[in-house]
């Protein structure tokens, strides 16, 4: 038995280790099955591979000479370069992401233990680890927000405990994770200022942190990103303005339409056991929700992809904070609701693949895909379709098959005509057109079977 003072830590770290193992199994097995993609695992691997060799993060998958810091501002991913240099594989990124996201369980579980004891801590730890946003992100390639998830968990926990300096220190690295997270840092600063006023202390440190966050986001979006971007601007402005000049009324209407946005808001509230909506910590979600709901990009509106991972530690921290002031009966109902959401969503999101026998089988087609890719030598230049590209970025220089080639063109072209990602990044028509063009240029067919096409430059 652990001494009483160590039980919270033992529970927290045990849960984190268990979820890290589950995330790793899901992510690595999905890569083994060829379900990872150029967008985004391949992109981030090319960037971290460049960092690992002391080079700028030039990513051929985004275009010739494309500097990835012109897309999003995420220099913190460079900390993975030493590990990648030792283990040059996309699996390194997937394992790192699993460990980072599972780390969010630790502070929330320990805080819940302080608030309600071991049973509450166990529920909160499991709700965090099985939360739909984190599970979806852990099984969806690799993204820079893997760093944000634990940082937000530690920052929100410190804020709930009114440890203002600790909260500020945990939030500041968010400025190096993604450009929009400076606004979340600003929200942390405003809450610190508000709490300081309540405690009859100076709000200036909190206001200063808020200023740093807003300034960092402004400078990053208006100066840093455009300086690296090949078009000299920030590529995502058009997703906010919808390609025109929106009115205040159109922006307000955009927040609540289409109805899929209400599903997102409902699931977030339910993950917080609805009780978390009473906590000021729930306001930390506002910056992320604002740009997602106002965007014209439908991928941001719903509960798919990885975009909700950063919200999970915030809504769960709000739940724990609300538990400190709730009547025991209301607290039990809130915990039950949060646990039910986690249980109901597990079969929908990738975590359930751990117990699915078919997810662990190697199909004859998968064996054939591997044989085709093994025909391509290491160090070659390759144009590949979305899912095949992620299998090659650790050993070859890879571009997308739908991109116009530069110079003499890639040495090899490989495409899977059954790749379901037919809209982005490569539309099916664009892929078919480029395959025809390559053959017109004299590329010869090496393999053409089972919807797989391998071409070689003469």
**Predicted confidence pLDDT, tens digits, the chain (458 residues):** 334 345 889 999 999 999 999 999 999 999 999 999 999 899 999 999 999 999 999 999 999 999 999 999 999 999 999 999 999 999 999 999 999 999 999 999 999 999 999 999 999 999 999 999 999 999 989 999 999 999 999 999 999 999 999 999 999 999 999 999 999 999 999 999 999 999 889 999 999 999 999 999 999 999 999 999 998 888 888 777 655 556 666 667 777 788 889 999 999 999 999 999 999 999 999 999 999 998 888 888 888 889 999 999 999 999 999 999 999 999 999 999 999 999 999 988 988 899 898 889 999 999 999 999 999 999 999 999 999 999 999 999 999 999 988 888 999 999 998 887 656 788 888 899 999 999 999 999 999 998 999 999 98
Q: What is the pLDDT of residue 210?
A: 97
What gap in Å lies between CA 454 and CA 438, rounded to an integer?
11
Give 270's contacts (C-beta < 8 A, 6+ positions apart): 337, 338, 341
Task: Give kind and range of the element (H or E) at residue 171.
Answer: helix 164-171
What is residue 244's predicted lDDT score, i.e. its pLDDT? Answer: 55
What integer pLDDT is reported at residue 401 of this predicted model? 94
pLDDT at 422: 57
Provide the Cα torsion 31, 372, 66, 136; round to 10°. Answer: -20
The pLDDT value recorded for residue 423 is: 65
- List Cβ neighbours of 141 (8 Å cut-off, separation of 6 or more): 36, 37, 39, 40, 41, 44, 306, 390
Q: What is residue 2's predicted lDDT score, i.e. its pLDDT?
A: 38
pTM, entire model:
0.93
Q: Are strands 412-416 and 452-456 parallel, antiparallel or unpaired?
A: antiparallel
Please give the pLDDT value at position 145. Answer: 97
Q: How confident is the model at residue 427, as a pLDDT?
A: 83
Task: Give the pLDDT score at 338.
Answer: 96
Give the model's pLDDT for residue 83.
97
Inter-residue contact 9 to 110 (CB < 8 Å): yes
């Amino acid at each position: 038995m652990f001494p009483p003072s160590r039980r919270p830590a033992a529970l927290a770290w045990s849960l984190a280790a268990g979820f890290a193992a589950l995330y790793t199994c899901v992510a690595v097995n999905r890569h083994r099955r060829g379900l990872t993609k150029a967008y985004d695992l391949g992109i981030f691997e090319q960037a971290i591979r460049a960092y690992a060799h002391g080079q700028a993060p030039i990513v051929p998958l985004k275009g010739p000479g494309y500097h990835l810091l012109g897309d999003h501002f995420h220099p913190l991913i460079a900390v993975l370069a030493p590990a990648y240099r030792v283990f040059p594989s996309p699996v390194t990124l997937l394992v790192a992401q699993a460990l980072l996201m599972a780390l969010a369980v630790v502070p929330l579980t320990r805080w819940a233990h302080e608030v309600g004891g071991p049973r509450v801590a166990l529920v909160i730890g499991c709700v965090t680890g099985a939360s739909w946003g984190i599970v979806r992100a852990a099984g969806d390639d690799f993204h820079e927000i893997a760093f944000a998830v634990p940082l937000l968990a530690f920052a929100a926990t410190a804020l709930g405990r009114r440890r203002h300096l600790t909260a500020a220190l945990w939030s500041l690295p968010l400025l190096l994770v993604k450009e929009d997270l400076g606004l979340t840092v600003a929200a942390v600063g405003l809450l610190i200022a508000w709490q300081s006023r309540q405690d009859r202390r100076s709000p200036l440190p909190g206001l200063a942190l808020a200023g740093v966050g807003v300034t960092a986001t402004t400078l990053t979006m208006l100066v840093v990103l455009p300086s690296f971007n090949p078009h000299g601007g920030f590529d995502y402005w058009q997703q906010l303005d919808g390609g025109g000049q929106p009115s205040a009324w159109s922006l307000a209407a955009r927040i609540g339409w289409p109805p899929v946005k209400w599903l997102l808001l409902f699931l977030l509230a339910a993950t917080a056991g609805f009780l978390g909506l009473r906590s000021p910590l729930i306001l930390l979600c506002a910056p992320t929700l604002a740009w997602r709901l106002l965007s014209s990009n439908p991928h941001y509106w719903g509960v798919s992809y990885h975009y909700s991972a950063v919200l999970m530690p915030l809504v769960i921290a709000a739940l724990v904070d609300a538990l400190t002031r709730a009547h025991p009966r209301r607290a039990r109902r809130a915990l039950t609701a949060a646990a039910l959401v986690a249980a109901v969503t597990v079969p929908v999101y990738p975590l359930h693949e751990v117990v699915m026998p078919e997810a662990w089988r190697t199909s004859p087609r998968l064996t054939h895909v591997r044989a085709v890719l093994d025909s391509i030598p290491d160090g070659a230049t390759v144009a590949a379709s979305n899912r095949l590209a992620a299998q090659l970025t650790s050993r070859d220089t890879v571009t997308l098959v739908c991109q116009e080639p530069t110079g003499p063109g890639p040495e090899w072209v490989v495409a899977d005509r059954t790749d379901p990602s037919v809209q982005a990044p490569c539309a099916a028509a664009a892929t078919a057109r480029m395959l025809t063009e390559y053959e017109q240029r004299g590329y010869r067919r090496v393999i053409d079977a089972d919807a797989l096409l391998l071409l070689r430059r003469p």
